[in-house]
Structure 1
Amino acid sequence: MSMPNPTDPQPTDPAPTDPRAWKAPESQADLDRIVESRLAREREKYKGYDELKAKAEKWDQLEDEKKTPSEKAIEEARATASGETAAKYDQRIASSEVKAVAATLGFLDPADALTVLGSDIPKKDDDIDTDELKKRVEKLAQDKPYLVKEPSRTPRTRPQPRPGEKQQDTTGKPGTGKAAAALRQLGANRRSN
């Protein structure tokens, strides 16, 4: 065996983060002490936050006071315009969505769905709730079926002839039907007379 080198670091007590060294608190007082020490460390991190927040608010107030009335008016106009623009485009998106769903469901005029539903735009997390719009259009189609096209019906077909019956020629070529045969007969009778 080799001799330990005196310059090598000597093992110490296990670190508190070592899972083998962790020991559950034995009493409520021990747990309270542990939690309180952790809270104190966190409070120390954010010690000057309230003071910093107050300074930032004061700075914003001073910057606001420095602005001329025209700068304030410009900022207010920009905020108003951006809100109006967002509302305008939300309305356009909602109307396009309603028209698309209405066309898919077979409305005679998809714009009718938009007119009947009105301008109330359902929102979800500051976005247009397209699922809710779709539900509203589907409900409108059920409540007012006269706005929707009737489902297309299959065209009537001619009955098939029974076995042994003479089948009519339905190829659609000129001169092959009963009327054409009757005209040929009439022409032949006139020529012979």
Structure 2
Amino acid sequence: MKLLLFGATGMVGSRIATEASARGHRVTAASRSGQSPIPGVTATAADAGDPARVAALAVGADAVASACVPPRDGSDPRGPFLALNQALAQGTREAGVARLLAVGGAGSLQVAPGQELSDQPGFPQAALPEALAHRDVLAFYRTLDDLDWTYVSPAAAITPGERTGRYRVGGDELLTDEHGNSRISAEDYAVAFVDELENHAHPRARISVAY
């Protein structure tokens, strides 16, 4: 499978590139730096917010994926991050690629009917702008009826760790373990992400993955 991956040099994106490449997929890693996240992966400099550049790179790909994150420079990230994803979808569409997968956020996952994680009193205020930016992007994807998108939300805590190959898949709900913790390693998140890429099990849907 040929995959065009944006945000490939970040914590999650580099692990998706590693996982996909290890399974024999042909990965083009796109980032603003143009650096390869791992040896042997083709790298190119590109901005996911440039639909013409996205389209040019995506021609012939089986899927486009985004591990991009909202701006973290202290400005309001909602508008710029939504615009980036709109451009990414436009470029994917113009290239004739049907599938678009996105690394999502956990803040919009439900902890109870009608109650999202980011709305809870203990949610870190510093993380709220990014959570709201991801929520806006999910709402945008849900308006798309001409792309087979999948939005993959991680657990509340996602950090570098071990690749075990184990994870659970949910929908709009926050997944927790028997102790009430919601977590997953970035490595196992990448396993879940590439499994979805290969299996195409949840078209036009948000899924959540956690231990």
Query: TM-score scaled by structure 2?
Result: 0.14
Rg bigger for which structure?
1
The structure, 1 or 2, with the larger RCO (C-alpha pairs under 8 Å, 6+ apart) is 2
Structure with greater strand percent: 2
TM-score normalised over the length of structure 1: 0.15
Q: Which has the higher helix share?
A: 1
